[in-house]
A and B are shown apart, each in its own frame.
Chain A
């Protein structure tokens, strides 16, 4: 049976992770920065599933579920924080959110 080397999956996961890092660095909109974090989590999930398939163990896939739960909780709290920031500052640009207190 034809197969794909494990390293290809890992390289794809690394590319996704570094795209997320790059978005985190260069984006100025706080929502897009948040989406970059989700992209990084997805890249890590792919490497979990690839290793699970290589070692014939379902533990990696169970870890993916835990990562998803953390991502969902983080998205809920993070978006609530974004809404609270927007109410007080009326901006989504992270360069203008540079004081801890108004």
Chain B
């Protein structure tokens, strides 16, 4: 019973955060409601016994990734989003379509649901068990993801670096403009004297 109450409470917070993300027109409010969604999802993971996943969810998702979003919003000074004709079409077609799709999936899951249930402590997702799997059975995918992260870092650096800034600093140094101007002024002064 206690488990069910906790599940419903944090599930409601989660859905409320997700709906708030859709309702807000300012991106910073959307980002903060996404943090709420991720925090309550971490509690849901704890209810399922996945302690390590819950910790990583808070540290990596709610910590690192959301900070990256917030920094981008701050850097680009993103304001209110403006509505346009395309958004009205998307609203008219998208909302009923998504509601129908969601209802269909929920009905399918609930209609075929068996008596299977998940209780607290059914499975301990402790770091030791996960590390055993990650470094034995999933060793090759683990190494491949490290290469993926390396490529992502290099891609991000290449994408945001400005090639024109290098060019500007290169061609500004060798040219000396002031000297001919001084000579001109001297010539003009000499011409006035004569």
Contacts and interface: CB of A to CB of B under 8 A. Distances in A.
Interface of A: 1-12, 14-16, 18-23, 25-29, 31-32, 34-36, 38-39, 42, 45-46, 49-50, 52-54, 56-59, 61-62, 64-66, 68-77, 79-84, 86-87, 92-93, 95
Interface stretch (B79-87, B167-175, B176-184, B186-194): B79-87
Contact of B94 (A5, A25, A50): A25
Contacts of A62: 130, 133-134, 138
A25 to B, nearest CB: 4
Given A28-B83, A31-B72, A8 B7 contact: yes
Given A9-B118, A18-B101, 8 more contacts: A1-B3, A5-B115, A21-B98, A52-B123, A65-B134, A73-B152, A83-B160, A92-B76
B64 A3 contact: no
Interface residues of B, number: 90
B interface SS class: helix
Given A19-B19, A31-B72, A95 B119 contact: no
B119 to A, nearest CB: 4
Contacts of A12: 11, 14-15, 44
Tell me if A's interface is mostly helix, strand, loop or mixed. Answer: helix
B15 A3 contact: no
7 contacts: A9-B118, A25-B94, A34-B69, A42-B38, A56-B123, A58-B129, A83-B75
A92 B78 contact: yes
Interface in B1-17: 1-4, 7, 11, 14-15
Interface in B106-155: 106, 109-110, 112-120, 122-123, 125, 129-130, 133-134, 137-138, 141, 145, 148-149, 151-153, 155
B14 A16 contact: yes
A77 to B, nearest CB: 5
A15 B82 contact: no
